[in-house]
Chain A
């Protein structure tokens, strides 16, 4: 029957459809492993000129960072101890919290903290989000808690608007942490003179500073202070070549370092190696703020960490090098 001949294209079409139906073709996988890309590099790398972040979150985080309502008595903001004009620190050996309570430990700089592998001297926070909650809850720092903070912030319609604009669930503790951490990640300081040198501008450093960098490498400082942040990517015992704490005396709880976070006796006196970026601006030095000047700090490091007798010339050259590490924030020198 010729009338049924139109069934033939239907059958053929269905057959073709079935054949083409969900044929699995594996994607072409790029199976090349990266090899040897960092073998020839300097142990220190420069900070990128641009890091792309959500600008609105940065702005919101900036406001929160400077907002004293995050503390119990509305006196302390994050910026109180991490002044952006003071190199991200407060310039005192240990910081003062609410009600004039004095903390046990030196405030580390907030600049470039996004490059640190963990946060706090003892590395107890794995990232900036986790870190942001720390001081807010610390009774001698900001002495508050999330419920209190959120109740206070909710009275500000600007916050409500900003948060609901940026986050689906609006004003929550998680989102406050996120905004602050995003802001802190924007606190990177590129274009230090040393970075310019690393980028290839050999005239950026003086002869003396280049010598200082060479000693920095030759004397083993580089063993711990390496990477983009010149530190901040490992733990090290304080007092490898000598008992620093015995010599200093008056051992406190915070001197136990990472032990406070892990409880492992092997972790006693173990600290996160701090970044040396902008180091000229962040005196006093060490977790106890015991070194007032860079020279002091270099000498202590040389003695207790390196087991070296550093000559005055060595110290001078090393300090000269350290002074080249001060970068720019938002295009302005710190």
Chain B
């Protein structure tokens, strides 16, 4: 689960990068641009329609000015320029299609402009003639000819006028032959009968009639040309295609938006998850630290509710740990502890703001628990932290020492008294001497018991020493872990050194404790069945780093006959670790053999099953002189030489004592430079009652 720091950083950058990418994609639609283009398309259609409307208006003289047409066509050209700026979010195939249609539209527009110019000119002429011809028809001159011809020019002119007006209103050319017929008649009349003045008039009328005949179909066809359905279809197509691609782009952006949404949701959940893990770990760590404290510890909040009890406290105070955490403390503690804590709490609440670290520190005897307890209370923002420290052992030892001293004093006094008395009876020399020897024997007794008291004291002190050591090791371990989290690599090394030193000191203290226990005759064996193979594997695993460091090979052999052993596993492990680590310690780049065999011993007619453990190495070896001191207290072989090896020289003595306690024996063979062999014989089934 734990990744290196760079991996986490890269993962975060990638995740945020993906988020940014998705957000950018989802915001790719420029809606202002979209609106602009849509509006341009709409305006384009609208202006086109307006031009068409005005053309029709002009054709039928509903509008008499061409200004709007000029305006619209120039606006249309501007819109065309606007349309050529296709929004960038339209995909490229859409862009191409739109450009194709726009090109067609552009051509159509130019065509339209040109046709429109033509239309304007022709239409003006047509309009002029249409306006003037009726006026000509009303000229008075026509009446004069009524008597001359059957079809008088005035009738002809009226017929011409009517026909032309009708002709102009129709969309086809059906009336054109009629007009031509009447014009022919007028020409005949002009050539035959007309006078000079009238001839001019008729010519003029004919010219205008011709004008109408010529330009009316022109204008009509131009009108038709100007309003082709196809052009409008192209504009509609433009709208449709743009709409299609714009919608497509919007849909794609929506998908990206959804993806970005889901992704950011995932990121939030992810971050939340890691935060939870972090909180859990913090909690776990606090828990572990609290549990590792050898003192009993109870936390009480400001309302007097018990918020935490560590297992030691549970054990010490006889409380079910965890189960009753939320109870009020008065329910947990019995008298007189209860009243003590009540007093404590009142004090604490009063003094919480004062800079007093320890508000309460007392040692007292509690008959309910049959223990001496030292109680320390520390106020905090959360309430009160109370430590209970069991000092029964120390108190007992103190008491014993005191008693012994008193006894000694008392005895010395008594002896002195007796001596002075015996002085008085000097004459009985033999009796006196006997009495003297007895006194000496008693004095030896006293000295021995004093030595035992010392060991007892040492055992207690060792126990005292272990508590702070545990704190040192525990906190340095925690600090190293935190330093690793913070990435402060350069601290880790130092912290590990503290930890190793602590551990080393702890093992020394343990050794001292063992020695004192042995001296006191206090060492108790707890016999249990041991599966030999996993047991040995575990020991070898423990030694593995040392082996690798000293480049030694370890060969193990054990006989199939021995599967299990009934013995004290902890002590056996201690012995084997001592012997094996010595072998490893004093051998460089050689081999170490661990052999376990079964053998029998016949003693006083009883056959005992023994386990023969043989540990041999190819190390520096030991001279016979040195071997004599090996199993004595505090003697590492050669001060000058072995200072390069650590250890207080207690291991072998402790091992020997334990082996002997287990009713076995230990033997050592060695020659300088030839390696060392240690034989250990232990009973396979240790009886439960010993000593």
Contact = CB atoms under 8 A, between A and B. Distances in A.
Interface residues of A, number: 49
B128 A306 contact: yes
A41 B65 contact: yes
A130 to B, nearest CB: 14
A200 interface: no
Nearest to B63: A38
A71 to B, nearest CB: 31
A224 B35 contact: no
Contacts, number: 125
B67 A223 contact: no
A204 interface: no
A266 B62 CA distance: 28
Contact of B211 (A31, A241, A266): A241
Given A38-B68, A223-B124, A4 B62 contact: no
A34 B50 contact: yes
Nearest to B31: A24
B142 interface: no
Interface stretch (A7-15, A137-145, A244-252): A7-15
Interface in A229-260: 233-237, 240-241
A29 B42 contact: yes
Contacts of B268: 7, 10-11, 14
A192 interface: no
Given A24-B250, A33-B49, A236 B124 contact: yes
A51 interface: no
Interface stretch (B271-279, B356-364, B484-492): B271-279
B117 interface: yes
A34 B200 CA distance: 47
B265 interface: yes
Contacts of A265: none
Interface string A205-226: 0000000000000111011101
A26 B32 CA distance: 10
A240 B276 contact: no
Max chain B Cβ within 10 angstroms of own Cβ: one of A18, A42, A219? A18
A297 B272 CA distance: 93
B343 interface: no
A125 to B, nearest CB: 14
Contact of A117 (B35, B50, B70): B70
Main secondary structure of the interface of B (DSSP, over half): helix
A21 interface: yes
B5 to A, nearest CB: 25
A228 interface: yes
Contact of A240 (B39, B125, B257, B272): B125
A259 to B, nearest CB: 13
B27 interface: yes
B552 interface: no
B272 A1 contact: no
A234 B66 contact: yes
A39 B53 CA distance: 11
Contacts of A233: 65-67, 69-70, 120
Nearest to B126: A223
A131 interface: no
Interface string B39-50: 100100010011
Contacts of B95: none
Interface residues of B, number: 52
Given A39-B57, A45-B65, A236 B279 contact: no
A307 B63 contact: no
Nearest to A41: B65
A133 B588 CA distance: 104
Given A306-B132, A307-B204, A234 B279 contact: no
A48 interface: no
A84 to B, nearest CB: 25
B307 interface: no
A220 B276 CA distance: 93
B64 A4 contact: no
Max chain B Cβ within 10 angstroms of own Cβ: one of A219, A233, A237? A233
B250 A33 contact: no
A43 interface: yes
Contact of B50 (A33, A227, A228, A305): A33
B276 A307 contact: no
B204 A22 contact: no
B217 to A, nearest CB: 16
Max chain A Cβ within 10 angstroms of own Cβ: one of B124, B127, B200? B124
B261 interface: yes
A27 interface: yes
Contacts of A222: 64
Interface string A56-69: 00000000000000
Nearest to B253: A22
A270 B125 CA distance: 13
B676 interface: no
Contacts of B70: 117, 227, 233-234
Interface in A140-194: none
12 contacts: A4-B276, A11-B268, A15-B265, A21-B26, A29-B38, A38-B63, A38-B68, A117-B74, A234-B66, A235-B121, A236-B125, A308-B132
Given A45-B67, A233-B65, A236-B124, 11 more contacts: A15-B265, A21-B261, A22-B29, A24-B31, A24-B250, A117-B70, A218-B131, A223-B125, A233-B67, A233-B70, A266-B118
Lowest 8 A-B CB distances belong to which pairs?
Answer: A43-B64, A220-B128, A227-B67, A223-B124, A234-B120, A18-B261, A117-B70, A226-B65
